[in-house]
């Protein structure tokens, strides 16, 4: 698809996955969300879940099992759902509708929200337009979510950005992605006043930018699309830095890397004072590497094998005892999705069933 001023790099119903050009991962999630399943028997549920929620196989699930999975009215992508005080928000890329669900599966309210992709928090939504214009990129817009009146646009931008990672922070959004030339990863902060502040950029290869936010400082790295030996690099970026750091200046020393570490492979997260970064190992395994930030270095303190790939961090449990993530490895176990619960030492998995 094209318009007078540019061209589209992604189809109309582009995936809202955290990946700039990860066609394989996007196709995997599209297939996962594409098959309908019968509605399960549901217990009565009225409480709003305190933990993370996520869609899989056209069903909405709670990471803490606070409600039984229920079928969605229309399909929703991974980062397009959020639990709120009034229910569960889910944006459908099938019919451009933002819906507020109850935990029994009923729809309490719905509002139109037209976009090619959307990312949702309890209070904000970031949307991306369909077409890439040669004079600047995609149209992005930040919306405030008011459950009484629906989405209200706060600000908009035209950005040369194919998103690979995103996080809502305060009243704004942290957005990482590649440029059209596929030469650079860029990390930006989008604010409701319409500013788009550049925080960091670094060279791109066949990989996708990831970052871990730890209270205004970010460990930034690039996750490889496929396993393979490559130089491991990580960078420290301060949200309130006076200037955009040069990659050479921001690069962290990596101490204690394990033998057989090939590349970063997946997303990372912060838990119990450590930065947990995903590693692909030479024996085909995946591992969580727990680093402590010490000045300009990341010091390895723990290595947990058999992490099965951190496809998407979901967040800590309500009591903070475990961190949950969606585990998926498209190379080693295509089609097998797991919910992982990590206590800082060991990982327990629940297989989520076939897509």
Q: Are 355 and 59 in contact (CB under 8 A)?
A: no
Q: What confidence score (pLDDT) does residue 140 get? A: 98
Mean pLDDT of 151-155: 97
What is the four-CA torsion angle of 93, 161, 119, 215, rounded to 10 degrees?
170
The answer on pLDDT for 2 being more than 60 is no
Please indicate, yes or no, whether residues 105 and 221 belong to a single structural domain of this protein: no
Q: What is the tally of structural domains in the chain? A: 2
Same domain, yes or no: 123 and 171: yes
Average pLDDT over residues 331-344: 95
Instruction: Give the chain's largest Cα–Cα span.
Output: 56
Say whether both 175 and 256 belong to one domain: no
- The whole-model pTM stands at 0.85
Residues 193 and 217 in one domain: no
Average pLDDT, the chain: 86
Whether 306 has a pLDDT exceeding 50, the answer reads: yes
pLDDT in tens, 61-118: 999 989 999 999 999 999 999 999 889 999 998 999 999 999 999 999 999 999 999 9
pLDDT > 90 in the chain, percent: 76
Which residues are CB-contacts of 9 (< 8 A; sequence separation ≥ 6)? 132, 162, 180
- Whether 223 and 200 map to the same domain: the answer is no
Q: What is the pLDDT of residue 130?
A: 95
| 145 and 221 assigned to the same domain | no
Q: What is the pLDDT of residue 148?
A: 80
> Two tokens at 196?
């788009």
Tell me what pLDDT residue 134 has.
Answer: 87
Handedness of CA 249, 203, 126, 224 (dihedral sign): negative
Place of tokens 């297989």: 351
Domain termination residue (choose one: 179, 204, 229): 204
Tokens for 259? 């033998």
CA–CA gap between residue 172 and residue 60 (Å, rounded): 26
pLDDT band (50, 70, 90) for residue 341: very high
pLDDT digits (tens, 9 = 90+) for 218-276: 999 999 999 999 999 999 999 888 899 999 999 999 999 999 999 999 999 999 999 99
Q: Tokens representing 229?
A: 């030996």
- Does one domain contain both 191 and 219? no
**For residues 160 and 308, what is the distance between their CA atoms, to the nearest angstrom?**
33
Same domain, 333 and 349: yes
pLDDT value of position 170: 82
Q: Hey, what are 93's tokens?
A: 């890329």
Q: Are both 190 and 53 inside the same structural domain?
A: yes
At 300, is the secondary structure helix, strand, or coil? strand
Express each pLDDT in 20-55 by its tens digit. 333 323 333 332 222 222 222 222 333 455 579 999
- Contact between 253 and 298 under an 8 Å Cβ cutoff? The reply is yes
pLDDT reported for residue 353: 66
* Rounded distance between C-alpha atoms, residue 218 and residue 235, angstroms: 8
pLDDT at 6: 38
**Can you tell me which residue has the tokens 């066609």?**
23
Residue 211 has pLDDT above 70, yes or no: yes
Same-domain check for residues 250 and 355: yes
User: Own/partner pairs for 58-67, CB < 8 Å, 24+ apart?
Assistant: 58/33, 58/34, 60/88, 60/90, 60/101, 60/105, 61/339, 61/352, 62/103, 63/314, 63/315, 63/317, 63/324, 63/339, 64/317, 64/318, 64/324, 66/103, 67/42, 67/103, 67/104
The residue-averaged pLDDT of 283-298 equals 97
Domain end point (choices 204, 226, 251): 204
149 and 217 co-located in one domain:
no
Q: Which of 204, 226, 254 is the last residue of a domain?
A: 204
Domain that includes residue 263, residue range: 206-355
pLDDT tens for residues 314-331? 999 989 999 999 999 999
Do residues 45 and 190 both lie within one domain?
yes
Element (H, E) at 26: helix 23-34
The yes-or-no verdict on residue 185 having pLDDT over 90 is: yes
DSSP for 254-287 reads: EESPPTTEEEE-B--EEETTEEEEEEEETTS-EE
């Amino acid at each position: 698809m094209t318009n007078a001023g540019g061209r589209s790099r992604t189809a109309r119903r582009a995936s809202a996955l955290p990946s700039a050009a990860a066609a394989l991962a996007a196709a995997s999630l599209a297939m996962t969300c594409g098959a309908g399943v019968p509605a399960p028997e549901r217990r009565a549920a009225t409480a709003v879940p305190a933990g993370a929620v996520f869609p899989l196989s056209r069903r909405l699930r709670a990471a803490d099992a606070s409600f039984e999975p229920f079928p969605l009215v229309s399909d929703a992508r991974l980062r397009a759902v959020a639990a709120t005080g009034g229910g569960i928000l889910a944006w459908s890329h099938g019919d451009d509708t933002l819906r507020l669900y109850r935990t029994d599966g009923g729809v309490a309210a719905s509002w139109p929200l037209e976009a090619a992709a959307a990312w949702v928090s309890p209070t904000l939504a970031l949307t991306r337009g369909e077409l890439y214009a040669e004079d600047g990129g995609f149209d992005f817009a930040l919306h405030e979510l008011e459950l009484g009146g629906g989405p209200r646009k706060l600000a908009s931008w035209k950005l040369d950005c194919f998103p690979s990672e995103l996080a809502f922070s305060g009243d704004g959004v942290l957005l990482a992605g590649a440029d059209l030339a596929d030469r650079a990863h860029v990390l930006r902060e989008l604010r409701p006043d319409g500013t788009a502040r550049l925080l960091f950029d670094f060279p791109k290869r066949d990989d996708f930018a990831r970052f871990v936010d730890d209270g205004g400082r970010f460990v930034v790295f690039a996750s490889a699309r496929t396993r393979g030996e490559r130089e491991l690099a990580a960078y420290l970026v301060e949200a309130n830095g006076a200037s955009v750091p040069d990659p050479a200046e921001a690069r962290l020393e990596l101490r204690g890397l394990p033998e057989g570490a090939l590349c970063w492979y997946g997303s990372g997260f912060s838990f119990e004072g450590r930065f947990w970064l995903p590693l692909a190992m030479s024996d085909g395994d995946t591992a969580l590497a727990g680093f402590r930030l010490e000045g300009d270095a990341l010091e390895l303190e723990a290595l947990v094998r058999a992490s099965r790939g951190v496809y998407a961090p979901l967040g800590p449990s309500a009591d903070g005892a475990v961190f949950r993530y969606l585990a998926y490895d498209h190379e080693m176990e295509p089609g097998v999705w797991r919910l992982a619960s990590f206590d800082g030492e060991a990982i327990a998995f629940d297989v989520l069933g076939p897509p």
